[in-house]
Amino acid sequence: MENQKNLQIYNSLSGKKEIFEPLHENHVGMYVCGPTLYSEPHMGNMRTFINFDLIYRYLLHLGFKVKYVRNITDAGHITNSAGNEEDSIGKAARLEQMQSLEIVYKYNVKFQDLQRIYNLLPPSIEPTATGHIQEQIEIIEQIIENGYAYSVNGSVYFDTKRYMQDFNYGILSGRKVDELENETRSLNAQDEKRFFADFALWKKANADDMQIWRSPWGNGNPGWHIECTAMSTKYLGKHFDIHGGGMDLKFPHHEDEIAQSCGSFGCNPAKYWMHANMLNVNGQKMSKSFGNYFLPKEIIEGTTSLFKKAYPANVLRFFMMQAHYRSTLDFTETALDAAEKGFSRLTDGLNLIEKLTVSETSSIDVNSIVASFYTAMNDDFNAPILIASLFDAVRQINLINDGNATISESDKDLLESEMNNFLFDVLGLEIATTNNDSKLNPVMDLVLDLRQQARTNKDWTTSDKIRDGLAAAGIVVKDGKEGTTWS
């Protein structure tokens, strides 16, 4: 397929857009860092998963066979290295008076639910950290054997200094270890680490840890970053195509993954590193600690105090697709309202295609419109440009509908199928479900029929009374050329 060869991806590793050349022709291996399930994912978390869903969908659309692995972190990571050694899941478990795996199960059910609501395609596999303890231990052993890690007191640390003699620590994030030093040193005064930049691969268990595993170094927990190395290696191999995640994982998480892979297998695990940018609220990153977050379900149900009304998942997804995945995106009420109207214009246009009258020839260039869809997405998954092109197509459709342009039958079929492909399969949007309340429908038919009679009789008082009364009940009546509709 021609378009497969024109795809360009921005590689965080090189800082440039590169032609995408998969390691194995026609196959793509993609790993994305998933959520830590100690609480319900917020909208910012969802944006990253939605963006990688877009990427997954477009790769599939291009005809690649994609193996998409997104992990679930169900082993708590130590919250910090400055003395407080409580893990995030254990902490949630204590607060909610549950077992750790109960917490994970509870939030995973919610997470799976959100994926359906936001129309995310399920990954090929969603492996869990706790299901791969053995694999993690084996990789740690290999790193030790290669001389890039050491064990102290039941814990194992990555030997950054030793590693830097053979590899470039900071290759992804551009960080220089020397520059990190001053700030961090004081925090780790009593640390077991030999060097401040060393990070834990295995952590000795605390007496009150809820999750403890056996290892060659004694009972303990896996370190911060090793799970992703273990699971990506297991399902995709030592070297695969794409590794993705949120921008905030670039350092240290992804940098350390690279170090672990190089330290055990001698190579960077992924050819292309992709980072999705953050979701902002009023110019600031959405995060639990800032308190400026809301849950993906709250905004659909209209129960967050940040917004006056509820928005359908489709609209939210469309809104996010209007910004490029590598840009930050500001969530504001006016922007969401704008997206809602824009999306409905787009779907109205699409619904119009099948009703168009066809002509012998086309006055519009359908091939170049369709080509622009591919050009947009091939340029590092530029969904905003794709959407602009779709709007352009809608304008043409409306012109044809108004008799100011023509389209041939074959062009109509092409445009219809490609617009469907891009809007639904690639962008993952679905046409908003229309009202089909079986009890309300006949009532509305009756009421609108009565109103139409009044209008025919020029009884404006009655017809407006019906319209206003319905409006008060939340039903909007629209008089169009083809008759009256309601919603």
Partner RNA sequence: GGUCUCGUGGCCGAGCGGUUAGGCACCGGUCUGCAAAACCGUCUACUCCGGUUCGAAUCCGGACGAGACCUCCA
Q: In angstroms, what is the minimal distance from the CB of 25 to RNA? A: 28
Three-state DSSP state, 279: strand
Whether residue 328 contacts residue 248, with contact meaning beta carbons closer than 8 Å, is answered with no
**Dihedral pair phi/psi, residue 69, rounded to 5°:** -110, 125
Give me the sign of the Cα torsion angle 412, 413, 419, 422: negative
49 in Cβ contact with 121 (< 8 Å): no
Task: Name the residue nearer to RNA (CB basis): 117 or 352.
Answer: 352
Minimum Å gap between C-beta 163 and RNA is: 17
415 sits near RNA (criterion: CB under 7 A)? no
What minimum distance in Å lies between the beta carbon of 180 and RNA? 4
Using DSSP's 3-state secondary structure scheme, residue 56 falls into helix
Long-range CB pairs of 366-374, under 8 A, 24+ apart, other chains included: 366/407, 366/411, 366/414, 366/415, 367/414, 369/393, 369/396, 369/415, 370/414, 370/415, 370/418, 373/418, 373/422, 374/3, 374/6
Part of the chain binding RNA (CB under 7 A), chosen from 93-101, 133-141, 323-331, 419-427: 323-331
Please identify, using beta-carbon distances, which residue of 235 and 318 lies nearer to RNA.
318
Contact status: 184 vs RNA (CB under 7 A): yes
Least Å distance, CB 26 to RNA, is 27
Nearer to RNA, 14 or 26 (CB): 14
Residues within window 194-223 making contact with RNA, judged by CB under 7 A: none
Q: How far is the CB of 10 from RNA (least distance, A)?
A: 9
Least distance (Å) between residue 340 CB and RNA:
8
Is residue 307 at the binding interface for RNA, with CB under 7 A as the rule? Answer: no
- Site residues for RNA, window 324-343 (CB under 7 A)? 324, 327-330, 332, 334-335, 337-339, 341-342
375 binds RNA (CB under 7 A): no
Kindly determine how many residues on this chain lie close enough to bind RNA according to the rule CB under 7 A: 91
Q: Which is nearer to RNA, 65 or 465 (CB)?
A: 465
Strand pairing category for 477-480 and 483-486: antiparallel
Question: Rule CB under 7 A: which of 228-267 touch RNA?
Answer: 245-253
Give the one residue of 344, 363, 375, 421 binding RNA; rule: CB under 7 A. Answer: 344
Q: Which of residues 276-295 bind RNA (CB under 7 A)?
A: 276, 278-280, 283-287, 289-290
Binding test (CB under 7 A) with RNA, winner from 96, 102, 113, 348 = 348
Q: What is the CA angle 329-335-341, rounded to 5? A: 130
CA atoms within 13 A on the CB side of 174: 4
How far from the centroid of its chain's Cα atoms is residue 16's Cα? 22
Q: What is the DSSP string of 180-234?
A: HHHHHHGGGTT-S-SSTT--EEEEEPPTT-S--B--TT-SEEE-SSHHHHHHHHH
Neighbours of 248 (CB within 10 A): 15
Q: Which of residues 5-34 bind RNA (CB under 7 A)?
A: 33-34
**Residue 162 CB, nearest approach to RNA (Å):** 19
Among 322, 359, 363, 420, binds RNA (CB under 7 A): 322
Q: Which of residues 85-104 bind RNA (CB under 7 A)?
A: 88
CB 5 within 8 A of CB 21: no
Whichever of 83 and 266 has its CB closer to RNA, that residue is 83
Smallest distance from RNA to CB 74, Å: 12
* Concatenated DSSP letters of 120-180: PPPPSB--BSGGGHHHHHHHHHHHHHTTSEEEETTEEEE-HHHHHHHS-TTTTT---HHHH
Instruction: Supply the minimum distance, in Å, between the C-beta of residue 351 and RNA.
Output: 10
Contact range with RNA by CB under 7 A, out of 123-131, 140-148, 307-315, 463-471? 463-471
* Residue (of 248, 221, 322) closest to 35 by Cα position: 248
Interface residue with RNA, options 9, 11, 40, 77 (CB under 7 A):
77
Around Cβ 367, how many Cβ atoms within 10 Å?
12
Residue 391 to residues 154, 165, 336, 415, Cα–Cα distance (Å) = 60, 54, 17, 13
Among 354, 360, 402, 437, which residue sits at the site for RNA (rule: CB under 7 A)?
Answer: 402
Task: State the amino acid at position 234 in one-letter form.
Answer: K
CA distances to 91, 442, 458, 465 from 454, rounded to whole Å, are: 66, 19, 6, 10
Q: How far is the CB of 65 from RNA (least distance, A)?
A: 25
User: Does 78 interact with RNA (rule: CB under 7 A)?
Assistant: yes
At its nearest, how many Å lie between RNA and the CB of residue 39? 8
Q: Taking contact as CB under 7 A, which single stretch among the options 54-62, 153-161, 176-184, 431-439 is the one that binds RNA?
A: 176-184
Is 35 one of the binding residues for RNA (CB under 7 A)? yes
Applying CB under 7 A, does 392 fall inside the site for RNA? yes
- Examine residue 470 and tell whether it contacts RNA (CB under 7 A): no
Furthest-apart CA atoms within the chain: distance in Å: 92
